[in-house]
């Protein structure tokens, strides 16, 4: 047998300990079940996703607002030289 150490913050450890106790096991048993499931299925036993920041709800709202401004003709077109001339020194 090998020992593996895992760092958890105090609140997470307390909550996990409590949850495991409610299920009639300890944290070691919890991680053994997790590891066996992962090895048997050859995958993480739950879905892991990362939300692309570009597609966040907030950003999509801004994109829709900008599209509406274009549809409404509320846009200003400037060349790069005009933008550079506006630069504050």
Q: What token pair was written down for 36?
A: 């066996």
3-state secondary structure labels for all residues of 10-38: HHHHHHHHHHHHHCCCCHHHHHHHHHHHH
Give residue 60's domain range.
53-86
Question: How many structural domains comprise the chain?
Answer: 1
What is the tens place of the pLDDT at every residue in 11-51?
A: 999 999 999 999 999 999 999 999 999 999 999 988 776 66
Burial of 33 (0-12, 13-18, 19+ CB in 10 A): middle
Q: Residues 45, 37: contact at Cβ < 8 Å?
A: yes
What is the tens place of the pLDDT at every residue in 47-72?
A: 776 667 777 888 889 999 999 999 99
Measured in degrees and rounded to the nearest 5, phi and psi for residue 8 equal -130, 145
Q: Answer whether residue 71 is part of any domain.
A: yes
Q: What is the pLDDT of residue 89?
A: 61
Q: Answer whether residue 72 is part of any domain.
A: yes
Q: Answer whether residue 40 is part of any domain.
A: no
pTM equals: 0.52
Angle, helices 27-41/10-22, rounded to nearest 10 degrees? 80
């Amino acid at each position: 047998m090998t020992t593996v150490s895992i760092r958890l913050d105090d609140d997470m450890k307390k909550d996990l300990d409590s949850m495991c106790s409610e299920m009639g096991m300890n944290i070691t048993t919890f991680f053994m079940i997790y590891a066996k499931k992962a090895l048997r299925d050859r995958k993480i036993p739950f879905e892991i996703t990362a939300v692309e920041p570009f597609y966040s709800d907030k950003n999509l709202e801004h994109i829709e607002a900008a599209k509406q401004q274009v549809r409404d003709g509320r846009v200003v077109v400037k060349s790069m030289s005009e933008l550079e001339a506006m630069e504050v020194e």
